[in-house]
Amino acid sequence: MVKAGKSREAFQKWLSDAVTQNKDPIDNPKMTRSVWEREIGFADEYNEPGQFTALIGFEWTSIATMQAPGNLHRVVIFKDGVDKAGQILPFSTFDSYDPEDLWDYMAKYEEKTGGSVLAIAHNGNVSNGLMFPVEKRLNGKALDRNYVEMRVRYEPLYEVTQIKGDGEAHPLLSPEDEFADYGTWDKSDIVGLKPKEDWMLKHEYARSALQIGLRLEENLGINPYKFGMVGSTDAHTSLATTREENFYGKAAHLEPEAKRWEHPIITSLAGDDNLTSYSYESLGSGLAAVWARENTREGIFNAMQKKEVYATTGTRITVRLFGGWDYQQDEVFRPDSVSIGYRKGVPMGGDLAKKPADKTGPVFMVGAMKDAWSGNLDRIQIIKGWIDSSGERKERVYDVAVSDGRKIDADGRCRIPVGDTVNVADASYLNTIGDAELRAVWTDPDFDPKLRSFYYARVLEIPTPTWPAFDSKCFGDKIPDTVEMKGQERAYTSPIWYTP
């Protein structure tokens, strides 16, 4: 590693040389083994079933190649303890930069140990079009049956939000979605070498990837992008804070201090300031929420495999989504609504059963509660995506529950904003607007039983201050008007899919 005191230029050269030569600068198997055994030992030592679950895992870090750099990182998570995870060593980018080789490593692990493992792809918004391919794989070969089978088998989840931007939707891809431009990072690849081009975007964002997956399923018989959605921090500080008022930044040099907002978080290897990303562009995000039957390794891992998970941008919003054909309007308000959700349908991450002949469209039951220490709720939305008869990607945003007695128009949208109580100078807000809880039962009014589709819920809070506003108050920083000083925290559920 680069020693303290070395210049940023020296680090950039070290990184560039390591990647272009694909050579591990610390090539010492004994060191790797000792570090791995120490870390998985800690996980087993502090794992307390039913109280605190410590999962064993590692991050596989790949930026593809310096000729076509793009973030392809995966977080690899094991269901197992030291007895099985200790039989192998982590897979490194110096073993391969191709995710297909990572999946092969995972398959061999399961064959050797009888264990279970999954991977979470993350931060596709800086992959420069490489995260969700349609035709060509990273190795240049065409997508085939083996690729889609391995991807959907070993990557059931996708990290849709984190410090380096939000990856649910992009305003260019979703121009009619007024909430799509949130935490948008669209300058370049992960090392600031090549600028972003518009064609790349649909291969980077969750909503478009879910649509692409439907199209690939029509052609290949399997949907490789049938993923659940989680959030994470991707913090490198060992202080994984996600609250805006307590945000410790991406790395140690971005921890709270005066003018940290102007520090680079990614310095362009091309030396182009337009491709450098700065601390003020980062989000205090995010969290992975899992609906598990028990707080154990097995319970949490099984829930992740089933995709019964959701993402938040840092606050602890609670949300449940069920889909079926026969939910009644009042059932979402019953104390046993969750039991009804399972009995009559499927939870987030599931597949709708065959449509009964007497039903016009799928019915969704959704409910959300605010984080007790954050903003009230603005609204719950259902995002629908599908592929039309000509093969084009389509989407609709429906408001299904809104706060403060506002009305939803006949087209399914509420165009009255929730309001704004943020005092930027004081980094404060009031929960005098919005609701603490929202629930709804909603039927798709535009359902076409012949078309593949997916549905997921997005929950929005009222506007609250961002971490630069808290920094400005604390340190007296004068922050430019271009910096976002308030925003609407949110949650995204995993989708529910319909297949004809």
pLDDT in the model for residue 5: 47
Gap between the Cα atoms of 340 and 324, Å rounded? 10
Give residue-wise pLDDT tens across range 267-293: 898 889 999 999 999 999 999 999 999
Three-state secondary-structure class, residue 497: strand
> Would you say 490 and 284 are in contact if contact means Cβ atoms under 8 Å apart?
no
Give residue-wise pLDDT tens across range 444-479: 999 999 999 999 999 999 999 999 999 999 999 999
pLDDT in the model for residue 8: 59
What DSSP character marks residue 466? Answer: -
As a whole number of Å, the end-to-end CA separation of the chain is: 53
Least confident of 153-167, 171-185, 229-243: 229-243
Q: Any idea of the CA torsion for 251, 257, 262, 266, to the nearest 10 degrees?
A: -10
Average pLDDT, the chain: 93
pLDDT in the model for residue 105: 98
Residue 409 reports pLDDT greater than 50: yes
What DSSP character marks residue 195? Answer: B
> Would you say 439 and 401 are in contact if contact means Cβ atoms under 8 Å apart?
yes
What is the residue-wise DSSP string for 406-427?
PPPPTTS---S------BTTTT
Beta bridge partners of 74: 60, 121
> Would you say 494 and 309 are in contact if contact means Cβ atoms under 8 Å apart?
yes
Residue 310 reports pLDDT greater than 80: yes
- The DSSP bridge pattern shows strands 117-122 and 157-162 to be parallel
Gap between the Cα atoms of 138 and 124, Å rounded? 14
Gap between the Cα atoms of 171 and 163, Å rounded? 19
> Would you say 125 and 167 are in contact if contact means Cβ atoms under 8 Å apart?
yes
Give residue-wise pLDDT tens across range 91-129: 998 899 999 999 999 999 999 999 999 999 988 999 999
C-alpha distance from residue 465 to each of 164, 178, 203, 296, 483 (Å): 18, 19, 31, 35, 12
> Would you say 445 and 399 are in contact if contact means Cβ atoms under 8 Å apart?
no
Residue 294 reports pLDDT greater than 80: yes
Which residue would you say has higher pLDDT here, 71 or 440? 440
Gap between the Cα atoms of 486 and 500, Å rounded? 42
Structure tokens of 360? 């016009």
Confidence of residue 353 (pLDDT cuts 50, 70, 90): confident
Residue 251 reports pLDDT greater than 80: yes
Three-state secondary-structure class, residue 377: strand
Give residue-wise pLDDT tens across range 214-249: 999 999 999 999 999 999 999 998 888 999 999 999
pLDDT in the model for residue 14: 67
Which residue would you say has higher pLDDT here, 269 or 403? 403
